[in-house]
Chains A and B, each alone.
Chain A
Amino acid sequence: MKQSKPGTTGGTPPPTPTPPTITRRSLIGSGLAALAAAPWAKASGEVPRPGAAPHVRRGLPQDDEIVLGVSCAFSGPSRGLGTELYRGSMAYFNQLNENGGVNGRRIVMKLLDDGYQPDPCVANTIELMQDERVFLLFNYVGTPTVTRALPVLKTFRDQQMFLFFPFTGAEPQREPPYDEFAFNLRASYRQETAGLVDNFVNIGRRRVAVFYQNDAYGRSGWAGVREALARHGETIAGEATYTRGTQYSASMRAQVEILLDRAPDAVICIGAYQACGAFARDAVDLGLHIPVANVSFVGSENMLQLLQGESSDPNSHTRWLVNSQVVPSYEDTSLPAVQEYRELMAQYDPPPPDNVERITPNEAYETFPQSFVSLEGFVNAKLIAEIIRRMGSDPQRSGIEEAVFNVRNYDLGVGERVSFGPNRRQGLQRVYYTVVEGDRFVPLTDWEASFGMP
């Protein structure tokens, strides 16, 4: 792990100075005025600072740029997710832009922080569309945020705006009435939870409980577990919840005790790394010695860092962890995309964004050389660049859908070919399972040996 440092992205030339942004700040109705007043609402209007990442948008779009609008968590308890996703994408865009960009245009990102909160995300989405005039929306993080941003896209449907590759496996952007506004790359939570349930049932762990974030994200995963269990003739053995934004320092004793009463064989967690880490810690400490599974959104490396950071025995709280992933292991260098990812991450080592408001200067963030989240950001960037390339030298929004639907059997280098179509708005389907070995998550090869019933 590496301590973040402000400065230029490694090996890249200094940015072309652009004038400070003066946004119109037009408010759409009194409701939006209230939203815009939220402290997270805005991170634009920045003055370029020395050492800032060169492929991050700081003014209105230039002719030689294609601007992707990003609203995600760069602050708060889930900032690790937004930051690592951004870093993975930046590693690819840096290399791409240094080599001439896409059809002669650089790809840059306009970053707004929503702190993983729905209302700021709505305000940011409106700003990105109305004021920043971004080409498309990209790399949003989280279900509660995305589910609230989707109606904005529908409201302004005449603008033909699309949300690409949100970091969430929830159903709302995969199903009517909002599926037509989004394209997903990763597998869904329904697929992740179904895989976890199937594997648990196969090894005799039929009583599956759920620990989840009490919001749209948690409910999405809860619904996935419920459906998967129903296919095996089972119901959820027990459930406990936590409030979004809960920190690792919080006690999860009440939640663990609720589940202990239900005597489950396994627990599936649908949450973020701080709360799920706290739950995994307290579960072990209170004697809940059963497999504790997490879905990809948890941010495996961030959780592992918390769990191993404070204990004299680094693996005391990680023995029972099994995390599902939607990208292959970053250790699997047999995959071309993983090789490329590792090389570019090592070459550029993108720092966390330094132009987003509400990141307290002393709130240091330790980046990871590689992580599942940054690998996902990397493949997201790789595919969006390919889609833009297919749109030619003068890309228009009206041509986005056609370009996406032309992606058929495309080899992204992750061991699974990507296809899109009018009825297929999710590119990848595969789910991977990992367990902790030493200081990292590695592929799980034998469920019975690792988690079979005693």
Chain B
Amino acid sequence: MRVHKLFRKTRFSFFALFGVIVLSVSFLSIRTVSRELDEEYVSNSRSIAKNIADSSVDMLLNRNLATLQSLIDQFVEIESIRYIYITSDTGEFLAHTFVPGIPEEILASDPSSTETVERSLPGLGDFIEVGSPILSGVAGNVHVGMDKELLGLKIQRAVGQQMYLFGIILVIGTLLSFWFVSFSARPLADLMAFAVNLAGDGKATGEEDVLGRDDEVGELARLFTHVADGSARGDEGT
């Protein structure tokens, strides 16, 4: 029994180490995935905004707002893009995808700014908004809003997959640790039984098994026998 107590510490160390690895890898992974997805989303959205800005110059100059609307309607079909709006150089909203109307928060914002901003629109959700100027802003600006919830879901999915993998490793590791502990403990248990018997009546059972081993357990058994023999000779001499 004492032998198993000894290996409890090994098991505890194993799980503690695994926990540290899982936590640190998960933390790093969440940060990395989040940052990279975030950057990718923003980068893609900037590309889309720039694409719309480049494509819309002629439409704006020709007052062809129907085609402009048709253009942004196609882009808003992309999964992560939730809204697009185009403002003129004077800040007038020339085309947008909002239903039932343009949110007050967006009406109140500076339409000439193309900085990346985070928005929380009541009833709609949380968004990252990027912008791109049309003809350096003299013809207007394009703004593209990406759904942060969808981004969060993608991060969760990516991290969830990692956790699933860690879970499988943990189960396999636990089974292996049990097997390893019981495999390692068996010679020690034999040695302990040998020593107990030796200390009792001086006749150990399983003597040949333990004494015949060529490892440290065998050496200890032989040492115990030698000590026991020496002790017996001392007793006889007194």
Contact = CB atoms under 8 A, between A and B. Distances in A.
Interface of A: 118, 143-144, 147-148, 170-172, 175-176, 214-220, 222-223, 227, 239-243, 252, 254-255, 258
5 contacts: A144-B70, A147-B70, A172-B64, A216-B66, A223-B63
Interface residues of B, number: 18
B111 to A, nearest CB: 15
A223 B65 contact: yes
A219 B100 contact: no
Nearest to A243: B99
Given A172-B64, A175-B62, A216 B69 contact: yes
Nearest to B58: A177
B66 A240 contact: no
B162 interface: no
Interface string B55-91: 0000000111111111001000000000000000000
Interface of B: 62-70, 73, 95-102
Contacts of B66: 143, 147, 170-172, 216-217, 219-220, 223
B106 to A, nearest CB: 13
Nearest to A259: B101
A172 B67 contact: yes
A242 B101 CA distance: 8
Contacts of A217: 66
A113 B95 CA distance: 28
Given A147-B66, A239-B102, 8 more contacts: A171-B64, A172-B64, A217-B66, A219-B65, A219-B68, A222-B65, A240-B101, A252-B100
Contact of B73 (A170, A215, A220, A254): A215
B143 to A, nearest CB: 16
The interface centre, meaning the residue of A118, A147, A217 with most chain B CB atoms within 10 A of its CB, is A147
Nearest to B98: A241
A316 B215 CA distance: 102
A144 B97 CA distance: 14
Given A240-B101, A241-B101, A147 B65 contact: no
Given A147-B66, A170-B66, A175-B64, A219 B95 contact: yes
Given A172-B64, A176-B62, A222-B65, A148 B100 contact: no
Nearest to B76: A214
B67 A147 contact: yes
A230 to B, nearest CB: 11
B217 to A, nearest CB: 69
B131 to A, nearest CB: 20
Closest A-B pairs by Cβ, 9 of them = A219-B69, A220-B66, A216-B70, A254-B100, A216-B66, A223-B65, A255-B100, A258-B101, A147-B70
B101 A255 contact: yes
Contacts of B101: 239-241, 254-255, 258
